């Protein structure tokens, strides 16, 4: 290989590395680690296909209060975090949104597969529904900027084996983007 081709290859390699660093830094400044989380999660899933974090599986199942499963919803690092995140099919779910930890358009909440769409406020921060099917389902704001997952199982226990891998793949899918008011236009929330 001649020196000219080596120089071009080196230039593109350095540009790629610097581009990843800049994108990661911008996401850190914005307070959300969208790029780095999705890339690392995807690499982790590829390297650990079939592996299940048993600590997460033990703490992920719903708290059953009487005949209702309860959970808390908040936003961490640009993603919805539902605690716990695994529920039993056919048993009502009551999710309390922690509005103090839900910026901008994250308060416009949806679970499309269950036809749930709600604008959460300080005075109305409860989401209630009864899941009628099992699987891992995406949660998102109406602009698809904030995303997360909810898992419904027949027995209410965290999925294992192939089902856990499938749930991780749903969780690691990148969002379709969206545009918030922070850059002008969008929802106007300023977030």
Q: What is the pLDDT of residue 1?
A: 67
Contact between 83 and 119 under an 8 Å Cβ cutoff? The reply is no
Q: Which residues of 10-49 are buried (b: 16+ CB within 10 A; e: fewer)?
A: eeeeeeeeeeeeeeeeebeeeebbbebbebebeeebeeee
Adjacent-strand bridge partners of 153: 88
- 189 domain-assigned: no
Same-domain check for residues 41 and 114: no
- Look at residue 65 and tell me if it is in a domain: yes
Which range marks the domain in which residue 158 is found? 55-178
pLDDT computed for residue 90 by the predictor: 95
Do 140 and 146 meet the contact criterion of CB atoms below 8 Å apart?
yes
Angstrom distances, CA of residue 183 to CA of 39, 91, 142: 24, 41, 17
pTM: 0.57
Q: Please, are residues 41 and 53 in contact by the beta-carbon 8 Å criterion?
A: no
Please tell me whether residues 77 and 11 are part of one structural domain.
no
Phi, psi for residue 179 in degrees, rounded to 5: -135, 120
Task: Judge if 98 and 23 occupy the same domain.
Answer: no
Q: Are residues 103 and 134 in the same domain?
A: yes
**What tens digit of pLDDT does each residue of 45-58 get?**
333 344 444 444 44
Query: How many beta carbons lie within 10 A of that of residue 51, not counting itself?
Result: 13
Report the pLDDT value the prediction gives residue 156, as an integer from 0 to 100: 86
Q: What is the radius of gyration, based on Cα positions, of the chain?
A: 20
**Per-residue pLDDT, 166:** 53
- Is the same domain home to 60 and 86? yes
Q: How would you classify the pairing of strands 147-153 and 86-88?
A: parallel
Indicate which CATH number applies to the domain containing 136.
2.60.40.420
* Position 184 in a domain: no
Q: How do the pLDDT tens digits run along the chain, 191 residues long?
A: 688 777 777 776 666 555 544 444 334 444 443 333 333 333 333 333 444 444 444 445 556 666 899 999 999 999 999 999 999 999 999 999 999 999 999 999 999 999 999 999 999 999 999 999 999 999 999 999 999 999 999 988 887 765 555 555 455 444 444 445 444 445 545 44
Q: Would you put residue 186 in left (φ > 0), alpha (ψ -120 to 50) or beta?
A: left
**Domains in the chain, number:** 2
- Domain-located, residue 34: yes
């Amino acid at each position: 290989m001649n020196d000219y081709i080596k120089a071009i290859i080196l230039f593109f390699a350095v540009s790629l590395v610097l581009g990843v660093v800049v994108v990661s830094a911008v996401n850190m400044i914005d307070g959300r680690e969208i790029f780095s989380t999705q890339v690392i999660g995807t690499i982790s899933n590829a390297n650990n296909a079939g592996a299940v974090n048993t600590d997460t599986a033990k703490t992920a199942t719903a708290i059953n209060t009487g005949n209702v499963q309860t959970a808390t919803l908040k936003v961490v690092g640009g993603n919805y975090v539902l605690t716990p995140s695994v529920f039993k099919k056919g048993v009502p779910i009551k999710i309390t949104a922690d509005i103090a930890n839900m910026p901008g358009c994250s308060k416009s909440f949806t679970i499309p597969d269950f036809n749930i769409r709600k604008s959460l406020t300080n005075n109305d921060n409860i989401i209630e529904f009864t899941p009628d099917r099992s699987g891992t389902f995406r949660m998102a704001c109406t602009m698809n900027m904030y995303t997360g997952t909810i898992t419904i199982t027949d027995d209410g226990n965290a999925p294992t084996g192939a089902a856990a891998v499938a749930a991780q793949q749903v969780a690691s899918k990148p969002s379709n983007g969206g545009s918030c008011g922070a850059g002008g236009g969008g929802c106007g929330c300023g977030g």
